[in-house]
Amino acid sequence: MNAAATKHPPASGHAPAPATLADDLHASPLVAQAVDTIVKEVRARSARITDVRGPASPAARQTYEDYMKRCADLRGRALLYPYIGSGLGHGALVELMDGSVKWDMICGIGVHFFGHSDPDLTAAALRGALGDTVMQGNLQANGDAYRFMDLLLKAAGRSSRLKHAYLSTSGCMANENALKVCYQKHAPASRVIAFKDCFMGRSVTMSQIGDAAANRIGLPLSTQVDYMPFYDPVAAARMGQGRYIDMCVSHLRQYIERYPRQHACFIFELVQGEGGFNTAPREYFTALMDVCKASGIAVWDDEIQSFGRTTSMFAYEALDLGDYVDVFCVGKMTQVCATLYTAEYNPGPGLLSGTFIGGSVPFAVGSRVLERLGASDFYGPEGRFARQHRAFCDQVRALAARRPEWFPRTGPCGEFADIVGGVGGMMRFTPFGGDKDKVMKACKALFDEGVIVFYCGHGPYHVRMLPPLGVFDERDWPRVFACVERGLAKVL
């Protein structure tokens, strides 16, 4: 990795000499040499991680278990997974503190899109760490915060009317800011429309909007939410696509007629994340969005989990919905989270603020992520993501052909559309009829066998993958599914 690839941008365009002492620092050959030296040291050790393996020794395993108990005491509850990383990995492979190595196919719920110990991002992080502050804020920020914002808005503006952005440190806070923007624009409207099985984050307000009762136990219910069904391919096939969409539009109109001029926004997950990696055709969304536009209801596109992973950088781009979008949220892969909005939804002063908007290192790494996404062969119907998704589906179907008893098409919640689904880098499969207990056991069994996954859905439940497709080699799918097959066998 050449550290010059992530060089700090000059503060004054093409000035022949450094304009600031900071430019002088970043242009220093000694700094470039130091960054290159550190990156080479990381690469040398990372390259030794080549396959799944168990703990380094029984003593290392015992020390790890003791440390996990200590961590559980600090948290107040046991770790969901016995995962504590060592701080080193190699692409999709990650080393844990006991010396074991596993395939990381969930990547912090989609955060580590370029895997572990990526040389390019390591260099970007080192460059970012040269900044004079660790955290940057709304009142005082350096140029790298605005560079990230500029890159994001230029990409978003290719196929939408999104013009402005406000940065934040979490996807949940980005959603909070989006809700405030919608409330202010459509005051005094106070109701929200969202899809069944949506997930918005875990603040008091977002826990109320998210459609999971367990996430709001003990919370006062002060936010008024009306839930729309997300697209159901089984019902659409039985009824016919047109009749099914007409039924959903009628459902939406009933809410609007019941509460006239009281809805500030409709929150669209174009690909549901926690809800089950559910997808829908364009005509389903346009039918609902047309009603929103005619009724003066903001179209809010939540792509915090889906951004960068579909067949276009933005899911609204893949579905040609950009002209409908008024407010947009992004996070996870970008390292820095953001709320974007059109000129019409630009809020008044004082509505959006906060001490922190992000860290100097996340700005540097996030900008580099955006650059790499924009200069890649990831997107399009024959792009790398589409090919990777097909390879994933092939592995699932081959496994189901060998072990059909593991993959019934009906379960405790009835019939579901397919045993495999999602789009691009959002991948899921449905073993054991989507039974929750068995899917949860499967996730833990797969972890033991060397592959880290998670679950999603609300009946049926699915095994979910958000692999680091930025660096994942398609030829490694059989190696991953060898672990998957051993893990599923343990469940029964």
Note the pLDDT tens digit of each residue in 140-151: 999 999 999 999
Share of residues in the chain with pLDDT > 70 (%): 96
The whole-number average pLDDT for the span 255-268 is: 98
Strand order in 454-456's β-sheet? 420-423, 426-429, 462-465, 454-456
Residue 12: pLDDT over 50:
no
Residue 111 CA to residue 54 CA, distance in Å, equals 25
Exposed (0-12), middle (13-18) or buried (19+): which is 486, by Cβ within 10 Å?
middle
Backbone φ and ψ of 373, nearest 5°: -65, -40
Residue 352 CA to residue 178 CA, distance in Å, equals 9
The whole-number average pLDDT for the span 270-279 is: 94
Residue 71 CA to residue 67 CA, distance in Å, equals 6
Is residue 101 one of the residues assigned to a domain? no
**Residue 268: predicted pLDDT:** 98
Provide the residue count of the chain. 492
> Crossing angle, helix 241-258 and helix 282-295, to 10 degrees?
20
The whole-number average pLDDT for the span 278-298 is: 97
Is residue 268 one of the residues assigned to a domain? yes
Is residue 85 one of the residues assigned to a domain? no
Residue 176: pLDDT over 70:
yes
CB-based contact 463:453 (threshold 8 Å): yes
**Residue 83: predicted pLDDT:** 96
**Residue 26: predicted pLDDT:** 94
| The two structure tokens encoding residue 373 | 């996404």
Is residue 279 one of the residues assigned to a domain? yes
Exposed (0-12), middle (13-18) or buried (19+): which is 413, by Cβ within 10 Å?
middle
The count of structural domains within the chain is 1
Which of 59, 58, 85, 82 lies closest to 69 in space, CA to CA? Answer: 82
Exposed (0-12), middle (13-18) or buried (19+): which is 144, by Cβ within 10 Å?
buried
**Residue 6: predicted pLDDT:** 47
CB-based contact 312:379 (threshold 8 Å): yes
CB pairs under 8 A, 24+ apart, for 485-489?
485/399, 485/402, 485/403, 486/449, 487/442, 487/445, 487/446, 487/447, 487/448, 487/449, 487/451, 488/399, 488/403, 488/406, 488/431, 488/442, 488/445, 488/446
> What band does 62 get if pLDDT is binned at 50, 70 and 90?
very high
> Which amino acid is present at 218?
G
Is residue 102 one of the residues assigned to a domain? no
CB-based contact 85:64 (threshold 8 Å): no
Residue 7: pLDDT over 80:
no
The whole-number average pLDDT for the span 448-464 is: 96
Is residue 322 one of the residues assigned to a domain? yes
**Residue 11: predicted pLDDT:** 40
Residue 58 CA to residue 170 CA, distance in Å, equals 38
List pLDDT tens digits, range 299-313: 999 999 999 999 999
Provide the whole-model pTM: 0.93
Mean pLDDT of the chain: 94
Residue 281 CA to residue 230 CA, distance in Å, equals 11
Residue 392 CA to residue 397 CA, distance in Å, equals 9
Residue 236: pLDDT over 90:
yes
Report CA torsion sign: 168, 169, 174, 177. Answer: negative
Distances (CA, A) of 76 to 37, 73, 229, 440: 41, 5, 36, 21
Residue 65 CA to residue 63 CA, distance in Å, equals 6
**Residue 492: predicted pLDDT:** 84
Is residue 269 one of the residues assigned to a domain? yes
Residue 488 CB neighbour total at 10 angstroms: 24
In this structure, the strands spanning 162-168 and 337-342 are antiparallel
Residue 344: pLDDT over 50:
yes
**Residue 270: predicted pLDDT:** 97
List pLDDT tens digits, range 194-207: 999 999 999 999 99
Residue 393: pLDDT over 50:
yes
Is residue 432 one of the residues assigned to a domain? no
**Residue 417: predicted pLDDT:** 84
Domain range for 219: 169-354
| The two structure tokens encoding residue 188 | 């005094």
Residue 4: pLDDT over 60:
no
CATH of the domain at 287: 3.40.640.10
The whole-number average pLDDT for the span 266-289 is: 96
Residue 319: pLDDT over 50:
yes
Backbone φ and ψ of 371, nearest 5°: -65, -45
**Residue 279: predicted pLDDT:** 95
> What band does 18 get if pLDDT is binned at 50, 70 and 90?
low
The whole-number average pLDDT for the span 63-78 is: 95
The beta-strand segments (E) located in 241-334 are 263-268, 298-302, 327-330
